Structure 1
Amino acid sequence: MTNITADTANSENTVKSTAPAKGLIPLPEKTARALATAGGALTVVSAFLAWTWNDDFPGDLTYYGSPAGLQWLVLIGGALTALFGLASYGVKGLGWLTPAGADAAIKLSALAAFATTWYTVVSIVLELGLLVDLEPGAGVAALVSLLAVIGAFGLPFERPALEGPDPDDTDFEKFKHEAGNRWTTFKSAFASGPIKPARALPAWAEILLIAAVLGLALTVFTYGITTPYQELFVGFLITAGFGAAALNKAGLFARVTALTTRHRNVALVGAFAAAAAFPLTQTDDQYANLGVNILIFATVALGLNIVVGLTGLLDLGYVAFLGVGAYTAALVSGSPNSPFGVHFPFWAALLLGAAASMVFGVLIGAPTLRLRGDYLAIVTLGFGEIFRISMNNLDGTSGPDITNGPNGIAGIPNVNLFGFDFGATHTIAGFTIGRFANYFLLMLLITLIVILVFRRSAESRIGRAWVAIREDETAAEAMGINGFRVKLIAFALGATLAGLAGAVQAHVSYTVTPDQYTFANAVPPNSAFLLAAVVLGGMGTISGPLVGGSLLFLIPNKLQFLGEYQLLVFGFALIVLMRLRPEGIIPNRRNQLELHEDMEAPTVLGKAGV
């Protein structure tokens, strides 16, 4: 049986008592649990059947006994449902799967299998044109996944008994009240219980578990980034989204977080070792190219997290600092379009790009950081547009010939660092590493530097001052904190980190143009997507913006087949996610407590989120 979550208890409707436990679908508990568990197991079996006789559908789902493409995702969803169902029966050896209870996890994993199955079946019919293109296996899969969902939503849960509407309310207010009651009841169906204490393990065993989790994360990331066709990527999003929510409700994410907190340095080193292994798994440089651009975007999002997440300053023109670093490095790296005719070594261009971004951060921040809230946001938005327009006008016609105007600075040479040519293919320990794999490893090193800077800054005295400014600037200044100086340091440091990433981006893309640095367009990086990455990932944490940035770069890149509807679908998905999880994917503990006031506060809050 599950408990009512804090956000349920904190709804605008007051909980008076708890109604009798029953499911959203009226079924006896034993019947519902058996139906969900058996449905999950049968869904696994259905993945081994042929779903279509026509091999024109991507993935070739025409074979018996050999799952392919989307069938593997359905198999994973069904397996999770069956395992969580068996754990709810108390099967020996599966208790570790559900430290926070199994019922909410069963519902979400059943939804993962059901949604992926039906998406696949509908896609087959729409793409091939006829229902007769389906094999009986597709019908079996659709039926058993539906049975699993029916069983899952028949599981009982504690329903909050809410106060009725005021008799004097208007019809519209009564409608809102009733809708709120239904939403609160629905959310309580997915509530998880308290996490059971973990059994004490030796330190080496905990480190091995962290390594296994990182290996699994690398596998999932690699699978997502290398999906060869659009149907598979959409199915991956469905399964990964519901599957991750199921694992979270089961309490497994909380267990992993506790492990990584106890072994922070080991987890950090292991995460970067897993990331460094990614290009070694790729034979196509296309995916390594996508990987290095994801790293650039995620690293810039982490730099913005200092300004937005730690200090609470709304910066809508942050992508301009990325552009300053990129243009500075491009101008001094030997490009034939550069009017200066100099070719600095990469390390000098990198430092110069970071320094130029820092100078611009100070120049922009000094006169504007006395503003607050919306006024500061408008000023930073203006700076972003001024930068883009200025780069367009420095073309020798509207202004001095420095940036070659809209054509940008092209022909930026590859990095050559200590005799290692990043533009050439190398064979190391039997692995062939191409150009983008070289830059991926270089950018990974830059990301590590940015993470170390963020972590040390957040845990320092200045980091505590940033948090104080974010929570209440007036109170912080009353306690002796120089608000202007502290905010200027945050602005300058965030700009510096963006400049580092910009210098690498210039060499990766060969060309720097003004249109790369806008407030909003369909393709990141841009200021709107960077801000969304910080909020979506989790403000004030280290891993939050990295995860959010990775998702917000990868998903638009893979959804280009939607054309003009891409931003519509993407925006709707963000609204839903922010409604369901406003604290972000990887929340900062302080922010989570603010949004869920009934959560029990720990005795000591952690320093910087991980």
Structure 2
Amino acid sequence: MTTQTTAPETPETPSAPSTGASPSGLFGIPAATGRALAAGAGVLTIVSTFLAWTWTSDFPGDLTVYGYPGGLQVLVLIGAAVTTLLALATYDVKGLGWLVPSGGDAAVKLAALATFATAWYTVISISVELGGVVNLEPGGYVVAVTSLAALVGALALPFERPEPDPIDPDSTGWEKFRHSLAHGWNTTKATFAAESPKPVGKLPSYAEILIIVAALALGLTVFTYGIGTEYDELFVGFLILAGFGFAALNKAGLIAHVAQITARHQNVTVFGAFIAAALFPFTQTDDQYATLGVYILIFATVALGLNIVVGLAGLLDLGYVAFLGVGAYAAALVSGSPNSPFHVHFPFWAAVIIGALASLVFGVLIGAPTLRLRGDYLAIVTLGFGEIFRITANNLDGTSGPDITNGSNGIASIPNLDILGFDFGAVHDVAGFSIGRFANYFFLMLIITAVVVLVFRRSGNSRIGRAWVAIREDETAALAMGINGFRVKLIAFAVGASLAGLAGTVQAHVTYTVTPEQYLFAGPIPPNSAFLLAAVVLGGMGTIAGPLIGAALLFLIPNKLQFLGDYQLFAFGVALILLMRFRPEGLIPNRRRQLEFHEEAEAPAVLGKTGA
């Protein structure tokens, strides 16, 4: 009796270094030559950033200096350095293999594309703004050629795909069409599985903690640089490099590697993230960008509360910003504003409780009669509630209704907070740093964000949290298992509403004025219901970091893209479409949600057949 075992056919890893002379990528260039070209041209691109790119300082960033990169040159320098390192790592250069735990050919392509796009964007901007290519210095021509050469070399790296099954010549046109669709889907699955990150071995605890610290420091540096870009061209270049750079690191497997490490040290990661956030105001020279920081935290906290409703419980709420408004109005009415009809001034802790309770009560009142609905019907009802809240607040002006909210003028002149003698409206000196008004509110909002994160983590890991997930996955099955669906969903609605009201109490004091126009369903500037939902979906439903990062991006990018005018929302919409196309599970995906989109990445290998 003879036993033969057939090895499972697995797709060849696209990133395996190719040393042969056969062309595998574009342009007919051998893979080894392309890899050497990408690395060499990357080095030359680095050198070009130390040359002058234009003769006049009229272009922002002063790109006229030899030997000292500035402005957009720094971004091109970073992109070229990453491209060179990844190209050398895929060439099996000793000591660099850790850069590409999942293989690096796709990562080299994306890094080279990031460098090329940033360099050519700069060269074209100089030519357009200054009146032609005659305004370029030799460095501008050099960087254009070398970045293009690096991209050509990267595109010469192999595109490995499994061969298609033969088509039966007697098949009908419809069968051939179905075959082509099936082959395309199988190719996509095989390519993703081949490039998906492999589990990495554990490092010593101190080494993994150092990696977490380094990742958080890098994140703080990138965020600080992005929020502090001084002119529009620099921010657009930053977006190009950051977008393609993140994709390159993700393809290389570094993002997944760091995610595995942070998952083993969740408490250290959360604590370190808040320390990194607390350092942000100290990186600013004035209150200009701390203003964006505090608004981002307010937006992120509300998005995290919505994540309980949408991400955990699976309830589509399109009027969630109304709960933020309820908390803000409740706090404004009792915080000593001269426009308040109640003429009372409660301490902040009492205003916080009133704002959170008011939002909770409204959440229960709206949820009780509507949460028996599902899907689109629930979304329509919540959308109606958001509009009803805004219209009601607009009508409570003493003419159309009782004089409570002062109508469209809102509750104005809300005083700054004073907690235990600490005036949030004054400038304070801390360790030699001047901490202004918005920085003070930033620290307060950071504490509230920490409370919301704690509530999210504890509730998500609790019995009620598991019930939320069960309802989200299959409500019928959950009800059959004995879960009280109505009660569970009502709790999610109430908790999410109270967290939004908590953030609203701080928003009222930060903005000085609360008006109905601040709480629209959609608008060019967040927070509004549409942007809140987008922050949760794009950041990663069911996670903590996802909505925080999504909210930061969705608040920062529209503020920085205001120079586009009428095209601002168009450009922003295109960016969202591309992100959802290439990363539908979100930037920081929940593991269960990631498997829903990429089940093939975890599929076990098929065992070979044994015959006698």
Q: Secondary structure at the match of 2:602?
A: coil
C-alpha offsets along residues 414-447 of structure 1, whole Å, 9 cap, x if unaligned? 0111111111000112111000000000000000
**1:105 aligns with one of 88, 104, 107:** 107
Amino acid at match of 2:524: A
Alignment TM-score, normalising by the size of structure 1: 0.92
Alignment TM-score, normalising by the size of structure 2: 0.92
Deviant stretches of 4+, over 2 Å: 3-6, 160-171, 176-202
Partners of 1:374 and 1:525 in 2: CA distance: 22
Deviation at 1:157, TM superposition (A): 2.9
Q: Does 1:384 align with 2:386?
A: yes
Conserved? CA contact 1:338–1:403, under 8 Å: yes
Instruction: Tell me what 1:258 maps to.
Output: 260
What does residue range 461-472 of structure 1 map to in structure 2 within 5 Å? 461-472=463-474
C-alpha offsets along residues 37-72 of structure 1, whole Å, 9 cap, x if unaligned? 112111111111111112111101111111110111
Instruction: Tell me what 1:312 maps to.
Output: 314
Partners of 2:189 and 2:265 in 1: CA distance: 34
Question: Which blocks of at least 5 consecutive residues in structure 1 are unaligned?
Answer: 7-19, 603-610
**2:578 aligns with one of 563, 576, 579:** 576
Amino acid at match of 1:465: A
Q: Secondary structure at the match of 1:520?
A: coil
Amino acid at match of 1:217: G
Partners of 2:464 and 2:409 in 1: CA distance: 42
Partners of 2:12 and 2:493 in 1: CA distance: 38
Q: Secondary structure at the match of 2:223?
A: helix
What does residue range 154-165 of structure 1 map to in structure 2 within 5 Å? 154-162=156-164
Instruction: Tell me what 2:76 maps to.
Output: 74
Instruction: Tell me what 2:481 maps to.
Output: 479
* Compared CA separation, residues 397 and 533, structure 1 to 2 (3 A): same
**1:432 aligns with one of 425, 431, 434:** 434
Partners of 2:245 and 2:236 in 1: CA distance: 14
Partners of 2:366 and 2:196 in 1: CA distance: 48
Q: Percent identity at matched positions?
A: 72
Conserved? CA contact 2:23–2:30, under 8 Å: no
Deviation at 1:184, TM superposition (A): 8.5
Partners of 1:238 and 1:420 in 2: CA distance: 42
C-alpha offsets along residues 427-474 of structure 1, whole Å, 9 cap, x if unaligned? 112111000000000000000000000000000000000000000001
* Compared CA separation, residues 193 and 596, structure 1 to 2 (3 A): closer
Conserved? CA contact 1:107–1:190, under 8 Å: no
* Compared CA separation, residues 113 and 403, structure 1 to 2 (3 A): same
Amino acid at match of 1:502: G
Conserved? CA contact 1:21–1:158, under 8 Å: no
Partners of 1:465 and 1:105 in 2: CA distance: 40
Partners of 1:418 and 1:115 in 2: CA distance: 52
* Compared CA separation, residues 155 and 451, structure 1 to 2 (3 A): same
Amino acid at match of 1:360: F
* Compared CA separation, residues 424 and 138, structure 1 to 2 (3 A): same
What does residue range 562-601 of structure 1 map to in structure 2 within 5 Å? 562-600=564-602
Q: Does 1:65 align with 2:43?
A: no
Q: Secondary structure at the match of 2:351?
A: helix
Partners of 2:143 and 2:189 in 1: CA distance: 28
Deviation at 1:542, TM superposition (A): 0.6
* Farther-moved stretch of structure 1 (452-461 vs 119-128): 119-128
Conserved? CA contact 2:278–2:443, under 8 Å: yes
Deviation at 1:161, TM superposition (A): 2.8
* Structure label with greater radius of gyration: 2
Deviation at 1:193, TM superposition (A): 3.4
* Compared CA separation, residues 189 and 53, structure 1 to 2 (3 A): farther
C-alpha offsets along residues 269-312 of structure 1, whole Å, 9 cap, x if unaligned? 11100000000111120100000000110111110000001111
Partners of 1:181 and 1:137 in 2: CA distance: 46
Partners of 1:500 and 1:165 in 2: CA distance: 62
Q: Does 1:519 align with 2:521?
A: yes
Partners of 1:5 and 1:269 in 2: CA distance: 41
Instruction: Tell me what 2:216 maps to.
Output: 214
Deviation at 1:599, TM superposition (A): 2.1
Number of matched residues? 585
Conserved? CA contact 2:326–2:504, under 8 Å: yes
* Farther-moved stretch of structure 1 (251-260 vs 415-424): 251-260
Deviation at 1:95, TM superposition (A): 1.5
Q: Secondary structure at the match of 1:158?
A: coil
Q: Secondary structure at the match of 1:525?
A: coil
Amino acid at match of 1:355: L
Q: Does 1:130 align with 2:132?
A: yes
Partners of 1:183 and 1:42 in 2: CA distance: 39
Partners of 1:555 and 1:399 in 2: CA distance: 39
Conserved? CA contact 1:108–1:242, under 8 Å: yes
Deviation at 1:251, TM superposition (A): 1.1
What does residue range 104-183 of structure 1 map to in structure 2 within 5 Å? 104-162=106-164, 168-169=172-173
Deviation at 1:190, TM superposition (A): 8.2
Conserved? CA contact 1:103–1:155, under 8 Å: yes
Instruction: Tell me what 1:237 maps to.
Output: 239
Conserved? CA contact 1:46–1:137, under 8 Å: yes
What does residue range 365-514 of structure 1 map to in structure 2 within 5 Å? 365-514=367-516
* Farther-moved stretch of structure 1 (370-379 vs 135-144): 135-144
C-alpha offsets along residues 242-266 of structure 1, whole Å, 9 cap, x if unaligned? 1111111111111211211111111
Instruction: Tell me what 2:609 maps to.
Output: none
Q: Does 1:84 align with 2:99?
A: no
Partners of 1:333 and 1:164 in 2: CA distance: 75
Q: Secondary structure at the match of 1:118?
A: helix
Q: Secondary structure at the match of 1:333?
A: coil
Conserved? CA contact 1:332–1:343, under 8 Å: yes
Instruction: Tell me what 1:193 maps to.
Output: 195
* Compared CA separation, residues 372 and 538, structure 1 to 2 (3 A): same
Conserved? CA contact 2:61–2:72, under 8 Å: yes
Partners of 1:310 and 1:569 in 2: CA distance: 30
Conserved? CA contact 1:157–1:189, under 8 Å: no
Amino acid at match of 1:582: P
Conserved? CA contact 2:189–2:600, under 8 Å: no
* Farther-moved stretch of structure 1 (186-195 vs 566-575): 186-195
Conserved? CA contact 1:5–1:191, under 8 Å: no
Instruction: Tell me what 1:12 maps to.
Output: none
Deviation at 1:332, TM superposition (A): 0.4
* Farther-moved stretch of structure 1 (182-191 vs 563-572): 182-191
